[in-house]
Every structure is written in structure tokens, then in C-alpha cells.
Amino acid sequence: MILSPSRRTLLAGSAGLLAAPRVAKAQTQYRPEYKMSVVGNRPIPFAEGAFQWAELITERSGGRINVKVYPGSQLVGGDQTRELLAMRQGIIDFAVFSTINIAPQVREAGIFQLPFLMPDHRAFDALLNGEVGRDLTGIMDRRDVTAVSFGENGFREISNSRRAIRTPADLRGLKIRFAAGAIFNDIFNGLGANPLQMSFADLQPALSTGAVDGQENPVNLFLAFRMDTLSQKHMTIWNYVNDALIFGLNKQLMASFTPADQQLIRECGIEAARRNVALARQGLGIPGTDDSALVEARNRGVEVTILTPEEKRAFATALRPVYDKWAGTVGRELVAKAEAAIRTAS
């Protein structure tokens, strides 16, 4: 899930033209440190992608581009929804953005939050490697962000402390935390749950005290943060959305680097994203992996429910009004491109 070779060539050429007038300055005025923001921390694949990108840039530049990661969105006070604004303001230089967190500011990024749009990883890849990915790169460029590659946080599965979820009716009355975006409020209201928005930093104490019953996050994050110890004893694999990641940096900063440095930053971003995707998919039982992550969850006493295609369709049907409403917000032309790509990939 990276930018295509032709797209990388085009972007590299365009970035080189932008950088040309400032080459001399870029060669002599490197900063002591460039700041990279990311939600969470190692060992989750999301954060791992950011750390590896920073480390690759620093190492391969011989330290002249010294990138330091600030995990937990600490540069924006733990509020991951402010990362895009902070980059545009120059507070942060690099980031691995969650499309969920930037969708309130970049409506097109909400394509990945349309419920049950993407049935599997093949569909997810089709979006990022096709017209949708190319369009999103251009959209980020107009928001003063140079996107060099795409990664994956993972399909978001739902867990709770009260009961197994197999039908829409099973969600009725459950207090479910979501990270950001009004679409998630509509999704869980549409299923009869009581949605509550809060940062990831606030999630763990909320689960431990019973202020919320459940949450939705990738399996790798569930395991890494031991949510099984926070009364999350029921997990349903429903693959309702997959959170794409954008490896990006401030557009003006990118233009300030020499063409060689720009190429180095891109190549490191592509490699880090590739590693991130592999980590995000480990142990989920998809083609090319085993199901060790699901086995581990069960070994921790978690009841893991895997929905059948028919059971997923029941959720998709219940949420069709939400899908249609938000397709208009995201942009119907972009949604049509996504649906066509997924049909071709199926």
C-alpha cells in the first residue's frame, strides 16, 4: 500500500522543481532536530511505522536530517485530532496521520470510515493503490502536506465487557468509545449504542472504571495495551472500517530539502510504510499470515466472535442510511471511484 512508481516519479519531479531555488540554503541550514508526531507508542504497528521512518531518515542521511519521534501526540497535548493543524502551523514537521483523526478537517479522508465499504484487505489495498490514493495525495498537497506513502492501522474490531456481539441488536445500550469524527457517532447511534468520544489517553481509565463498556480498535492494539485486563472479554471481528495511515511532512519543509534529500525521505517513507503494513496484518488469519493474534486473545480469556459474510451484511444494511449520508460529505465522485475499485478487486 504505497504510492505507485509512476506517481512517486511524478511527485519526486515536482518536489525537485519546488526545491531548486532553495538548494543552497537547504545544504547549509539543517535544523538540529525535526519533530515527528504519532498517536500511541511502540510496539503497536501504527507507532512503529513512525519510529522506523524517523530512524531510516536519520541513519541514511548520516544524521544531517535528524528526526525525533514524539509519541502519544504529545506535541499537541495528546489530542491526535490537532496534528494536521499543528503541521500546517509548523509545530510539527513530520507525522504518520490516521485518516480517522484528520477526516474532520479533510472530508475526503472519511472514505475509509464509510461502514462496511471495504470487505477485506484486498479492497483496502485497491483504494490506496488506485485513483483514491492518488486523489488523496493531491488533496493533502493542497493542505500543505506532502504525502510520501500510505500505511495501515488495521481493521477496527469491536470489544466490550458485557456480551458477545453478533447482530446489530447486540449493541443496543452499550456505551462505546470512539476516537474522532461525527460519522462514528452516527454509526453507533444507528446501531442503538451510546457512543462517547474520547482520546486514547482517556480510554484505558474509562474502561477500567466502567465509564464505557467497549471500544473499537485493531486487534494488535487491543493486545499490546492489554485491554483484556480492562474488562474487555468479548471481541467481534467485523471489519467495519480500516484506518489508513498517511506518512507525510510539511510541504514547505519538503521543498526546502535538496532533490536528493527529498528522494531519501520518500524512499524511507515507502519502506517504513511497507514494514508497518506487514506488522499490522500479522496473526489475523488473512492470506499470508497465521491466526496467532486471535489465538493469543482467546488464550487471555477473550471470547472472539468472527462474523460470517451474511452477518456482516446485516450490519451493513442497518447502517446504509449512515453510509449514504456520509458518502455525500466525503464526495460522491470519490465514493464512486472507491466502489468501482473494490468491485474490480473482488
Q: Which amino acid is at 328?
A: G
Cβ atoms 97, 246 nearer than 8 A? yes
The CATH number of 157-240+284-336 is 3.40.190.170
Residue extents of the structural domains in the chain: 5-152+244-280, 157-240+284-336
Contacts of 179 (CB under 8 A, 6+ apart): 80, 98, 100, 101, 197, 198, 199, 200
Q: What is the dihedral of CA 76, 275, 130, 127, to 10 degrees?
A: -60
CATH topology identical between 5-152+244-280 and 157-240+284-336: yes
Residue 106: strand, helix, or coil: coil
Please give the model's pTM, rounded to 2 decimal places: 0.89
Contacts of 149 (CB under 8 A, 6+ apart): 1, 2, 3, 247, 266, 269, 270, 272, 273
Residue 95: strand, helix, or coil: strand
Whole-number pLDDT of residue 194: 98
Distance, in Å, from the CA atom of 345 to the CA atom of 161, rounded to the nearest integer, reads 36
Residues of the chain with pLDDT under 70: 1-28
Whole-number pLDDT of residue 81: 87
The three cell numbers locating residue 148: 510520501
Q: Which own/partner contact pairs does 61-65 have at CB distance under 8 Å and 24+ positions apart?
A: 61/261, 61/264, 64/30, 65/30, 65/34, 65/257, 65/261, 65/264, 65/265
Domain 5-152+244-280 coded CATH 3.40.190.170 = yes
| Structure confidence by residue, pLDDT tens digits, 276-288 | 999 999 999 998 8
| Structure confidence by residue, pLDDT tens digits, 12-35 | 333 333 343 443 343 448 999 999
Distance, in Å, from the CA atom of 219 to the CA atom of 339, rounded to the nearest integer, reads 26
